[in-house]
A and B are shown apart, each in its own frame.
Chain A
Amino acid sequence: MERAQQGGPPAVLRWVSTAEVAIVSAILLASFVITLITIVERNLGHSTGDWSLKLPELMLIWMTFLGMGALVTEHGHVAADMVLRRFSPRWQRIAETVSAVVTSLVLALILVGAISIAKQQVDVGATDDDLWEIPTAYLLSILPIGLALTILHLLAEIYVIWRTPHDARLPEAEGPR
């Protein structure tokens, strides 16, 4: 938070991360409503079909991958920074940069795999019968999208790390960020 105020993430990035969390929240509410409908329908002796199980599962995947990047910008991921705090400001920046670069590279590698899976599914023309025969490539498109967004957030984070003044580096309290 502090970093956001003192030359932290650019306003547009904060807006993007808030929008991503808002979409995740909307998905969460939708899965809540679906599960409620399932309970009510079952108690009335009706069956909602397999989609009511499959769709919330898919929504969990969407929530995770869509929100992963937003939490990078918001510093919402759990991290133990007590060793990092013992470093000088310069080494703190270096460690944080290494962390962001390594994560970006690994996620880029996974992104290649995710794109390759999507391509295979498009080539085969795979569809999900439980979810109204929607092409599987669309349903799981959140994997490449989410990974790409997370990489963008990480790259922006590197920019912020080097742009932010020394004394506004980390929040005061020790512990998870």
Chain B
Amino acid sequence: MIAVPFILLVILILIGMPIGFALIVASVATLYWLGLAPITFIPDVLSDSVGHFTLLAIPFFLLAAELLSAGGLIDRVFDLARALIGKLRGGMGGACVVATGIFAGVQGSSAADAAAIGKIGVAGMVREGYRPGFAAALIAASGATAILIPPSIAMLIYASMVNVSVGRMFFAGIVPGIINVIAFLVFVAARGHVYGWKRDDAATITTFGARIAALRRSFWVLMLPVFVLYGFYSGQLTATEISTACALYSAIVAVFIYRNLTVRDLWPVVMQTSRTTINIFTIIAGAVLLSKVLTFLNAPQLIFGFIESYHLNGWQFLIVVSAIMFVLGMFMEAVALNVMTTPILAPIAMKLGIDPVHYGIVLIFNIEIALITPPVGLNLFVLAGAAKVPLGAIFREVVPFVLILVALLLMAIFFPQLSLWLPDRILPAS
């Protein structure tokens, strides 16, 4: 019976139905077919699923990112990354990885990260002889790190559902996030040696003076992640309040410091943020409804029964979960995957003694992989659209990045301290 909503969902997604609606339709059809709930249950769930104060942080972090993007942030971040990394072999690719990493630190959406760096990054790499498919795959994969490096919308959603501290989740993402960026950098450098890629040809930007100048130009942008983490560290502000302060800070930086936006330009930015918000919240509403349907179908009990019958311990459970998510992630959108699986799997993880923050980081790695696994890998689509590269070419080139992420996922599973060390020191669980 559990397969019914999933089969329906895949069919609906494949005929092009918007993912948020597909989740709602698959859930309602299953509910009615099996006679699981009264008619008033559905609107109740749909409204309850989005009406949470913590979730308000999502549009505000999105607003901050939109403001900084519209305010000329991308060029500054990209110049800084080129100044820092350009001298290495395959410097342009490395610069793209670092730029997406820095941009991830000021906003929490992987698609936004990939799209923003994708436009200039792919063109730059192709100019230096990289294959277009590889260039697009590299940015799609490194853009996915945005959900691991704080602030992260995926972590916010997870934390709001599991009632874990958003601050602890954000701090937990820092070490794995940095390792992720370094892993991609090493891969690009190694491939650069094999293929004989050039160092970044803009030698002038790799002088010491140019590096300092690039750092100064990006100073106000780089202050944003510091600001976010200090907000959590101080314990004075909630996630929603920090996101509000971030949006205000970004508006001030874009309008009064960088002066790339006028007050009149702010309205279109707010409109764009609203569109992204509606999109994400429609998916959240649908995914919560589907997770309720799965609960009605006794999915948690079935999974727990499976775990008991095979005597799975914590890490074995995490590997089974990752395998399931790998398959689901091929067809499901990231927010849906997060919202749908968390209410079912996180309580089981906790029963097995897994720290919810550790489980959260494992989940985020799985979502990262889902973002770049064909056929429904959102970041691959974003790059295909933004950089005008055929999807087939990106599909072929993305495989090594998926393998790197799988290796990092296994590392996160077997070494919980990678996720827990920093939050345990800075924001110990009460």
Q: Are B56 and A76 in contact (CB under 8 A)?
A: no
By secondary structure, the B interface counts as helix
Residues from 259 to 282 in B contacting A, C-beta threshold 8 Å: 267, 270-271, 273-275, 277-279, 281-282
Write out the residue numbers on chain B whose beta carbons fall within 8 Å of the beta carbon of A114: 43
A78-107 CB contacts (< 8 Å) to partner B: 78-84, 95-96, 98-99, 102-103, 106-107
Contacting pair A79 B274 (CB below 8 A) = no
Q: How far is the CA of A77 from the CA of B376 in the complex (A)?
A: 15
Question: Judging by beta carbons under 8 Å apart, are B17 and A67 in contact?
Answer: no
Cβ of A95 and Cβ of B274 under 8 Å apart? no
Nearest CB to that of A114 among chain B residues?
B43
Residues on A with beta carbons closer than 8 Å to the beta carbon of B303: none
- Within 8 Å of chain A (Cβ to Cβ): is B16? yes
Which of A53, A103, A112 meets B25, CB within 8 Å? A103
Known contacts: A35-B241, A64-B282. The answer to whether A58 contacts B271 by CB under 8 A is: no
Q: How many residues of A contact B (CB 8 A)?
A: 60
Q: Are B44 and A117 in contact (CB under 8 A)?
A: yes
B407 at the interface (CB under 8 A from A): no
Q: With the chains together, A103 CA to B282 CA distance in Å?
A: 13
Q: Are A112 and B39 in touch, CB under 8 angstroms? A: yes
The interface residues of chain B lying within 8 Å CB-to-CB of A99 are 12, 15-17, 21
Please state if B271 and A22 are interface contacts (CB–CB under 8 Å).
yes
Complex Cα gap A62–B277 (Å): 12
The digit string for A35-58, where 1 denotes a CB below 8 A from any CB of B, is: 110110000000000000100111
Residue A106 contacts which of B20, B29, B278, B390 (CB distance < 8 angstroms)? B29
Supposing A79-B17, A110-B43 touch, asked if A102 and B25 sit within 8 A by C-beta, the answer is yes
Chain B hits for A6, CB < 8 A: none
Q: Min CB distance, B76 to chain A, in Å?
A: 25
A106 touching B279, Cβ below 8 Å: no
Q: Is B322 an interface residue when CB atoms closer than 8 A count as contact?
A: no
Question: Which residues of B from 272 to 295 have beta carbons under 8 Å from A?
Answer: 273-275, 277-279, 281-283, 285
Given the interface pairs A22-B271, A175-B384, the reply to whether A80 lies near B14 with Cβ below 8 Å is yes
Interface contact B241-A173, CB-CB below 8 Å: no
Number of interface residues of B (CB under 8 A): 65
Stretch at the interface among B91-99, B145-153, B243-251: B243-251
Pick the most buried of A38, A78, A110, A140: most chain B CB atoms within 10 A of its CB: A78
Question: Given A57-B53, A60-B50 in contact, is the A25-B382 Cβ separation under 8 Å?
Answer: no
The residue from A25, A28, A98 contacting B15, defined by CB atoms under 8 A apart: A98
Query: Does A13 interact with chain B (Cβ within 8 Å)?
Result: no
A residues less than 8 Å from B274 (CB atoms): 21, 24-25, 28, 63, 67
- What is the bound-complex CA distance between A28 and B244, given in angstroms? 11
Contact A175 B381 (CB under 8 A): yes
Q: Is B370 an interface residue (CB 8 A)?
A: no
Q: In the complex, A33 Cα to B348 Cα: how many Å? A: 39
Interface check A168, CB cutoff 8 A: no
Q: Which of A28, A120, A176 contacts B381 (CB 8 A)?
A: A176
B278/A117 in contact, CB under 8 A: no
A158 an interface residue at 8 Å Cβ cutoff? no
With A35-B244, A38-B241 given, name 4 new contacts (CB 8 A): A28-B270, A35-B240, A83-B15, A143-B47
